[in-house]
Amino acid sequence: MNTYFIKRFIAMIITLWLIITGTFFLMHSVPGSPFNEERTTNEAIQKNLEAYYHLDEPLLVQYGNYLTALLHLDLGPSIKKSSQTVNEMLGRGFPVSFELGFYTLILAVISGITLGIIAALRHNGVIDYLSMSIAVLGISIPNFVMATFLIEQLAVNFPIFPVATWTSPKHMVLPTLALATGPMAIIARLTRTSMLEVLTQDYIRTAKAKGLSPVKIVFKHALRNALLPVVTVLGSLAASILTGTFVIEKIFAIPGMGKYFVDSINNRDFPVIMGTTVFYSAILILMLFLVDLAYGVLDPRIKLHKKEAK
């Protein structure tokens, strides 16, 4: 088992390195730099600035410097917001994004799986059609439409919740709802499909023949088997939700990580682009690793340490 973890860890590092390398060179191959804006800067000043940020050095040297700094977990300074380092920006933004993402995930997973189970049990019934219509709506309505709709209804027409910002639990309700509908719908549909398949399996009939109650059949025998595909999508879903979504954070004026992603690209703020990408990738890789661990827990046939025997 330990060798599995070591191997896996090395693979994760290599993946991360590939992503860093790819992003670094892609980013520099895009025309433009942090300093060419519409207003013309004095050439000498621009030279000085480039020298200050080591942008005048050969690309490979810059790449080497970046990797060395990264080994010390130093993501570098922001070029546009000169008083801040990328570490500071992420340190401030990520906890907020994570909090929003965490509530969103919990809401999406619980309600999604519940909806999916109910729909599967009432297959082709009214509840099934109803919850699947909700799911289709949830998938097809973009979350910014959902967000503005929620604000209009629950903050303006019926002022139950505040319109924006992220200060008290009450402020968290609308953004969480808006962000959760999409993932919830995806999870609900997946759960339903996979549950329907599992419910036709022979071992479910065996469980019925034992005289077990429907509750036990669904939760003990069916759900665990039905959750595998759900767990699969949950990995990448979690990574993207936890690291913040630009649109929702913008609409609700939430000081999360999402805005740095987008701003940094517009600004050609190289260290911030790299920093957010590296951070997002690290979270994604970690989530995928957790998903693999969850497989082993859910399905005893998947033995993680067996892989190394091959």
Partner 1 sequence: MEKILQVKDLQVSFSTYGGEVKAVRGVSFDLHKGETLAIVGESGCGKSVTSQSIMRLIPDPPGRITYGEILFNNMDLIKLKEPELRKIRGAKISMIFQDPMTALNPTLTIGEQIMEGIMEHEKITRAEAKKAAVEMLQLVGIPSPEARLKQYPHQFSGGMRQRIVIAMALVCSPDVLIADEPTTALDVTIQAQILELFRDIQKKTGVSIILITHDLGVVAQVADRVAVMYAGKIVEIGSRREIFYRPQHPYTMGLLQSVPRLDIEKAELVPIPGTPPDLFSPPIGCAFAARCKYSMEVCERVYPVQSSLSNNHHVDCWLQDERAKKLVSTFV
**Residue choice 207, 237, 274, 283 for contact with partner 1 (CB under 8 A):** 207
What six digits make up the tokens of 15? Answer: 């993946």
Length of the chain: 310
Could you say whether residue 195 binds partner 1 (CB under 8 A)?
no
Give me the least distance between CB of 1 and partner 1, in Å please: 17
Give me the least distance between CB of 300 and partner 1, in Å please: 4
**Residue choice 208, 305, 306, 307 for contact with partner 1 (CB under 8 A):** 208
Could you say whether residue 220 binds partner 1 (CB under 8 A)?
yes
# residues contacting partner 1 (CB under 8 A): 21
**287-296 long-range contacts, CB within 8 A, separation 24+:** 287/234, 287/235, 287/236, 287/238, 287/239, 287/242, 288/235, 288/236, 288/239, 289/8, 289/12, 290/235, 291/231, 291/232, 291/234, 291/235, 292/8, 294/231, 295/228, 295/231
| Segment interacting with partner 1, rule: CB under 8 A, options 140-148, 200-208, 244-252, 273-281 | 200-208
Distance, in Å, from the CA atom of 157 to the CA atom of 177, rounded to the nearest integer, reads 17
* Listed residue (153, 152, 154, 142) closest to 179, CA to CA: 142
**Residue choice 212, 233, 282, 288 for contact with partner 1 (CB under 8 A):** 212
Could you say whether residue 306 binds partner 1 (CB under 8 A)?
no
Could you say whether residue 232 binds partner 1 (CB under 8 A)?
no
Number of Cα atoms under 13 Å in the Cβ half of residue 278: 25
Tell me the C-alpha to C-alpha distance, in Å, between residue 182 and each of 28, 105, 132, 300: 34, 11, 13, 31
Give me the least distance between CB of 213 and partner 1, in Å please: 7
Comparing CB distances to partner 1, the nearer of 125 and 142 is 125
Comparing CB distances to partner 1, the nearer of 7 and 208 is 208
- The residues of the shown chain that bind partner 1, judged by CB under 8 A, are 201-203, 205-213, 216, 220-221, 224-225, 298-301
